[in-house]
Amino acid sequence: MTNSNSSVRYRAKWLLPLDEEPIENGWMEIVGDSIVARGKGESSASDIDLGDVAIIPAPVNAHAHLDLSGVTEPIPLGKNFPDWLTGVVAWRRNHPTDIGEDIRRGIAEVVRTGTMLVGDIATTESSASLMSEADLHGTVFREVIGLREQRYEPLWNDAIQAEPRSDQIASISPHAPYSTSPDIYRRAGQLGSPLPIATHWLESPEEREFLLNASGPFREFLERIGAWTDDWKPTADFWKQYLSAGRWTLVHANYLTSEEISMMCAPRWRERIAAVVYCPRTHVYFGHAPHPFRELLKANVPVALGTDGRASNPDLSVFREACFVAEHFPDVDPRALLRMLTASGASAIGWEDRYRTDLRGKASFAVVRFAKTGKGGPYASLFSPESEIVGVMSQGYWKLGPRMSER
């Protein structure tokens, strides 16, 4: 951290505040944990030159499963999504390693790859304490799962008793409507918290079949693992059944219809949806139909980026997710992609009131090294395959790097 009684001025080829024009040859003056001034030109010998890099708002990984970081390679696919879930259940039951070590491994990877804020789906209290120990900020969504009361009630009690820490927010995550009682969704929505509640939503085509008819591969999966109950009933209007109150972050949402996206824009629903979280490389791993993220963006529904967990992704770098989108969807405006990586991620995990994208206030940002600026300006190169995050400052501390050039 910079000395509270002295200032440090960092220079970079580009400053890229989210809603302003790029600042070429820019600088930021930092005192303690705050950016106190910002400008361009007028270099001085005392400046610390970060080189031919861009400074961007700090990246947010809006969806991770840190407790799955002990998975050494993605769990093999089966005939359908429930088959893959069977593999995840088997791994959890047979994995001998202390879950705390897995979470530490995940935290280290998140920090190493340039993420400042993370939304973690947590199955135990360990995630909150270990994130705090590592000074990793974010939101811990305590997961509640189960169709039977004896399964979900203890998890619900643990979740609502979770205490937020100074560097974290505590919220709840009903796992998914195919695995969690509608009663838990109602309770979560009725808590009256302004914080988003995270849930996996319409992740696969088999999910819609199950919700409407209580049939298909998900029914077979629940029976196979002993989680099915005849008390569960299908419903034609599962949006109303599960999301009748509260503010929700819909994770994946791979199989939203155009009609549902239009419905999400209606006033009644717009205030209820904090964001949709898109996990691009996980999406491709499963071979899903094209994700509707561009349709959501056109409808002004916030779309954030997440990595999911190591059970379906090669790493936990949310910046690599952004680069993947830029490479495979070149029609997407890189400024919109930067918003997905930053502001929309903060909204998805409930940090919008603490998080800034204007490179002012608290000194929290990332340093990106990329290829030489081309005709399209810095945004055209920001998410190129060769780009990498080489530094992250969080509230005045260098959490990663930076690799500074010599003056």
Q: Convert the pLDDT of each residue in 97-107 to its tens digit.
A: 789 999 999 99
Residues 86 and 33 in one domain: no
Q: Report yes or no: 199 and 250 within 8 Å, Cβ to Cβ.
A: yes
Classify residue 250: in a domain, yes or no.
yes
User: Is 167 in the same domain as 303?
Assistant: yes
User: Among positive and negative, which fits the CA dihedral 310, 126, 204, 89?
Assistant: positive
Kindly state whether residues 205 and 288 are assigned to the same domain. Answer: yes
Identify whether residues 172 and 264 lie together within a single domain.
Answer: yes
How many other CB atoms sit within 10 Å of the CB of residue 264? 21
For residues 112 and 254, membership in a common domain is answered with: yes
Looking at the structure, do residues 146 and 102 belong to the same domain, yes or no?
A: yes
Q: How far apart are CA 299 and CA 68, in angstroms?
A: 33
Least confident of 97-111, 177-191, 362-376: 362-376
What's the domain range around 393?
7-57+356-400
Q: Convert the pLDDT of each residue in 367-406 to its tens digit.
A: 999 877 767 789 989 999 999 999 999 999 999 988 544 3
How many domains are contained in the chain?
2
2 located within any domain: no
Q: Are residues 318 and 382 in the same domain?
A: no
Residue 1 in any domain: the answer is no
% of the chain exceeding 90 in pLDDT = 84
Tell me if 102 is assigned to some domain.
yes
Question: What is the model's pLDDT at position 45?
Answer: 66
Q: 84-98, 192-206, 286-300, 349-363 — which is least confidently predicted?
A: 84-98
* CATH code: domain of residue 195: 3.20.20.140
In a domain, 19, yes or no: yes
Residue 360 maps to which CATH number?
A: 2.30.40.10
Is 367 inside a domain boundary? yes
Specify the range with the lowest mean pLDDT, choosing from 143-147, 218-222, 327-331, 368-372.
Answer: 368-372
DSSP letter string over 148-173?
A: SHHHHHHHHHHHHTPPP-TTEEEEEE
Give the C-alpha separation, 142 to 197, whole Å.
Answer: 10
Give the pairing of strands 137-144 and 34-40: unpaired
Higher per-residue pLDDT: 404 or 264: 264
Looking at the structure, tell me whether residues 364 and 318 fall in a common domain. no
Distances (CA, A) of 274 to 4, 171, 390: 36, 13, 30
List Cα–Cα distances, 199 to 60, 73, 180, in angstroms.
18, 24, 10
pLDDT of residue 2: 52
267 and 386 fall within a common domain = no
Judgement on whether residues 109 and 30 belong to the same structural domain of the protein: no
Q: Say whether the peptide bond before residue 402 is cis (omega within 30 degrees of 0).
A: yes
| pLDDT tens, position by position, 25-49 | 999 999 999 999 999 987 676 789 9
pLDDT at 265: 93
At 3 the pLDDT is 46
Provide the pLDDT for residue 78.
87
Residue 281 located in a structural domain: yes
Whole-number pLDDT of residue 306? 98
In this prediction, residues 100-117 reach a mean pLDDT of 96
- Average pLDDT rounded to a whole number, residues 115-136: 93
